[in-house]
């Protein structure tokens, strides 16, 4: 068995090789000097920690624009020019160290002072441009490890697959499959670096992961031990995948969204054979060309043979009809910038997605193929997949938290159910804002069988906020939320690095809530499990292999889009 240090070394080598794909940094006139070694370090850290929010070309999205025109001082040393603030090395170091109220985490407990100084200088130089990635490149990367004919014809293990949790071990480039009934790690598999999401096949048999290195893996749960049966690379950076779910097309295709290159790719759902690539470069909702419109969240419609593909920088929502790949039909819907995460309303007709730079939620009616609403919210909404429940006063609502404001926003959603007809007047309005003690929320979560709404704050720079969850009583939202100190409940000793309590996920039956306690690379992390009815601690998983756990995806809830 590999030691913790070996895991960290391997992860570092993998991330460095991935960062190399991002090209060579170009010297910028007037920018701070850097040695070749420092540029490599900066490139690696930027890929691991910064590109997701600020973009490969640093044009900004969830995070601020970090192009040299904003970050480097003028030749004369002044920090402003033409009314535009110029940051410079000293100020950038402070921002990196202490974070911002807008949702940027503090890195003083993640990076060394030397690394923060390198990053402050690195982002004042012109960003390198990574190479493109073609269909041929995808085919060259494709590995069909176990052909369909050689896979089991029935489940070969006795695990309750519906209650398995696919758990990202971020910095090791691995996925832990945890038996939700026994709370034991069933198996750990190699995946892409920093898996962003795991998605399930319509049958629940296969787990598809996508890492931030662009690697997709397909894992078959029917073997005695889970087995990776295929893999493929989408590019040098990616975030999302989903299968086809409409009747007659179940699991026929898989779609993957690229951060770089900015494009989406369609694959065979049973083998991952690459079939088609579609670029997303083009004009934004403002009519300006953008060279890096990344594909953010993707979901599969339940009522049409379509995927909802959200293009971050353009503010365009694409409804991609996969019924005829040779004659691909796409509906393009203008919404707002910059599109990020989102989820279904409880009817699964409307998809709601955060346009977080515009402080709006965009709602798409997948039945009519049109924009249903643009709802103004507080600063930088970040719903994850959101949370659906019936409000005692306003009827069905969908919830989102915020990176940049201390509230959870509740939005009324429509339904054809006559028992909710009296709430129609509230549809697509913010009906309530639940107070939080600070900004920095990433996920809100509930379950149809629960009376609680859980909210985290992992991006808040204060320990007292980042390491806890707040739980609201859905039946009486006038009551103050219950504070759950996840770090304290874990029983682990306090460390310099914050252990961020992140990504609540329910068990299949809605009785338990699993929370990742995401520590530093060299610190013991944990998964902390609570009884949802009593809010009491039930179990702590502190296996030595539990290194930087983040997202956890319950097979049944993910397969059925329950959130």
Active site residues: 50, 53-54, 104, 340, 382
> How far, in Å, CA of 199 to CA of 214, rounded?
15
The C-alpha atoms of residue 290 and residue 455 are separated, in whole angstroms, by: 34
Decide if 339 contacts 311 (C-beta within 8 A).
yes
Helices (H), 390-515: 463-466, 486-490
Pairing of strands 143-144, 227-233: antiparallel
Which residue shows structure tokens 């730079």? 357
- Spatial separation of the C-alpha atoms in residues 307 and 517, rounded to whole Å: 33
Q: Which of 208, 199, 218, 259 is nearest to 235 (CA)?
A: 259
CB 21 within 8 A of CB 117: no
List, in order, residues 6 or more apart from 449 with CB less than 8 Å away.
Answer: 509, 510, 511
Rounded Cα distance, 179 and 214, in Å? 27
**76-106 burial, b if ≥16 CB within 10 A, otherwise e?**
eeeeeeeeeebbbbeebbebbbebbebbbbb
Asked whether the beta carbons of 562 and 556 are under 8 A apart, the reply is yes
b/e per residue, 437-465, with b = 16+ CB within 10 A? ebbbbbbbbbbeebebbbbbbbbbbeeeb
DSSP letters for 377-406: -SSSEEEEEEEEEEETTTEEEEEEEESSSS
Answer yes or no: are the C-beta atoms of 421 and 395 closer than 8 Å. Answer: no
């Amino acid at each position: 068995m590999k030691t913790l240090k070996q895991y960290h070394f391997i992860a570092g080598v993998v991330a460095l090789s991935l960062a190399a794909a991002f090209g060579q940094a170009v010297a910028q006139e007037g920018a701070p000097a850097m040695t070749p070694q420092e540029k490599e370090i900066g490139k690696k850290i930027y890929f691991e920690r910064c590109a997701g929010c600020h973009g490969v070309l640093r044009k900004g999205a969830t995070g601020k624009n970090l192009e040299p025109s904003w970050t480097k001082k003028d030749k004369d040393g002044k920090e402003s020019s033409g009314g535009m603030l110029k940051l410079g090395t000293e100020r950038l170091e402070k921002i990196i160290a202490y974070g911002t109220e807008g949702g940027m985490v503090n890195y003083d407990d993640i990076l060394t002072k030397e690394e923060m100084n390198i990053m402050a200088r690195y982002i004042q130089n012109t960003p390198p441009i990574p190479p493109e990635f073609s269909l041929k490149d995808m085919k060259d990367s494709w590995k069909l490890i176990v052909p369909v004919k050689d896979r089991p014809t029935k489940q070969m293990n006795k695990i309750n697959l519906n209650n398995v949790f696919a758990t990202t071990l971020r910095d090791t480039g691995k996925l832990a499959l945890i038996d939700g009934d026994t709370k034991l790690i069933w198996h750990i598999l190699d995946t892409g670096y920093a898996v962003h999401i795991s998605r399930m096949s319509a049958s629940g048999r296969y787990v598809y992961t996508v890492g931030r290195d662009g690697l997709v893996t397909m894992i078959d749960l029917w073997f005695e031990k889970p087995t990776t049966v295929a893999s493929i690379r989408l590019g040098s950076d990616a975030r999302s995948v989903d299968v086809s779910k409409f009747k007659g097309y179940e699991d026929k295709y898989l779609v993957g969204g690229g951060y770089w290159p900015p494009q989406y790719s369609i694959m065979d759902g049973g083998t991952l054979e690459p079939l088609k690539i579609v670029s997303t470069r083009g004009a934004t909702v403002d009519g300006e060309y953008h060279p890096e419109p990344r594909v953010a969240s993707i979901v599969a419609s339940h009522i049409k043979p379509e995927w909802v593909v959200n293009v971050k920088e353009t503010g365009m929502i694409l409804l991609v009809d996969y019924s005829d790949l040779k004659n691909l039909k796409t509906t393009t819907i203008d919404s707002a910038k910059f599109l990020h995460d989102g989820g279904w309303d409880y009817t699964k007709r409307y998809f709601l997605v955060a346009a977080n730079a515009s402080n709006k939620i965009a709602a798409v009616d997948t039945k009519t193929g049109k924009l249903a609403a643009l709802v103004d919210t507080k600063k930088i909404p970040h719903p994850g997949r959101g949370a659906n429940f019936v409000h005692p006063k306003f009827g069905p609502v969908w919830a989102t938290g915020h990176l940049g404001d201390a509230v959870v926003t509740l939005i009324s959603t429509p339904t054809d159910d006559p028992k909710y007809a009296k709430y129609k007047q509230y549809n697509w309005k913010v009906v309530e804002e639940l107070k939080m003690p600070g900004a920095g929320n990433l996920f809100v979560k509930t379950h149809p069988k629960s009376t609680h709404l859980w909210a985290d704050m992992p991006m808040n720079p204060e320990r007292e906020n980042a390491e806890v969850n707040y739980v609201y009583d859905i039946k009486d939202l006038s009551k103050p939320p219950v504070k759950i100190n996840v770090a304290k409940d874990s029983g682990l000793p306090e460390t310099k690095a914050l252990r961020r309590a992140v990504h609540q996920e329910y068990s299949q039956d809605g009785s338990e809530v699993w929370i990742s306690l995401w520590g530093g690379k060299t610190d013991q992390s944990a998964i902390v499990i609570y009884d949802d009815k009593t809010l009491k601690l039930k179990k702590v998983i502190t296996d030595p292999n539990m290194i930087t756990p983040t997202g956890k995806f319950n097979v049944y809830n993910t397969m059925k889009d329950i959130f």
